[in-house]
Amino acid sequence: MHAGSPKSPGRTKNGLGLETDDWMDISVPISDGMVTWPGDPPVRILRLTDIEDGDDCTLSALSMSVHTATHMDAPSHFTSLRHGIDKMPLSAVVGNARVIEIDDPVSITAGELRGHKIKKGERILLKTRNSRERWDRKPFDESYVFLSTEAALYLVDRDVLTIGVDYLSIGGYGGNMAEVHKIILSAKIWVIEGLDLSRTGPGLYEMVCLPIKIDNCDGAPARALLRPV
Ligand SMILES: [Zn+2]
C-alpha cells in the first residue's frame, strides 16, 4: 500500500506499465546443484518422502551454505563484530531502495558511483553486466563485475545503510573479495548478494528483503522484492 496514494492499490499504473501493487521478485530460486561460490558445499535438496511414491506426505531436506543464491551477509561473516544476521535491523531491508545501473564491465568504481550522488542512509542496489543474463543458471563466472576497493571505501564514506549486488560476492574473485567484505561489514553496512536484477531498470523502488532468522549466523538466504514507488 502506498501511503498518500489516492488510488486503490493494484489498479494504478506507473511509468513502467506495472500495477503499483505488483511486486517484482528479485531473488533467484534455490535449486539442486545450482552455482555456488567455489569450495562451498553443493546445494542438495533431498526428497525424503514423496506422495507419488506412496508415502503419507512429501518431505524434503535442504543442505547448502548460508551464502547460497540470494542471501545476506552479516558483519560477523568477515569481522570480529558479533553481529549475526538475527541482529539485523529490519530498517536495513524494508523501505526505499535505489537501483543504480553500472556501465563499467569489469568493476564498480568510485568514479562511476560519484556521479549518482549517493546519500547517507540509502539502500543501494547495483545492477551490472552480471544481470545481463540469469547468472544463477550458469557455471561459476570468475570474471563477474565486483565492487572495487575504492568504491567500497566510498560507500562507507557515504554512510549507506545497505548494498545489494547481482552476483555471489561484493568483492572480486581471487582479488579483493576479503578486503571489500571487511571494509563494508566493519562499517555495519548490510549486504545483499546474489540478486537477480535482470528485469529491473534503474530508479527508486520500495524494497522488502527478508533473510531467514538464523541464530547468531554469518549470513542467511533471503527473499527480495521490489516495486516501483
Ligand atoms: Zn559476501
Measured in Å, residue 105 CA sits from the centre of ligand 1 at: 20
**149-158 vs 177-186: helix axis angle to the nearest 10?**
10
CA of residue 70 to ligand 1 center, whole Å: 11
pLDDT at 223 over 70: yes
Question: How far does residue 193's CA lie from ligand 1's centre (Å)?
Answer: 6
- Percentage of the chain with pLDDT > 90? 88
Is it the case that residue 20 has pLDDT exceeding 70? Answer: no
Report the C-alpha gap between 167 and 193 in whole angstroms: 6
Q: How far is the CA of 35 from the centre of ligand 1 (A)?
A: 15
Query: CA nearest 75: which of 201, 218, 171?
Result: 218
CATH superfamily of the 24-28+65-228 domain? Putative cyclase (3.50.30.50)
203 Cα to the center of ligand 1, angstroms: 24
Q: Where are the domains of the chain?
A: 24-28+65-228
Q: Which pLDDT does position 192 carry in this prediction? A: 98
The cell numbers describing 16, all together, are 513502467
Query: What pLDDT is recorded for position 11?
Result: 45
The answer to pTM > 0.85 is yes
The pLDDT tens digits of the residues spanning 102-161 come to 999 999 999 999 999 999 999 999 999 999 989 999 999 999 999 999 999 999 999 999
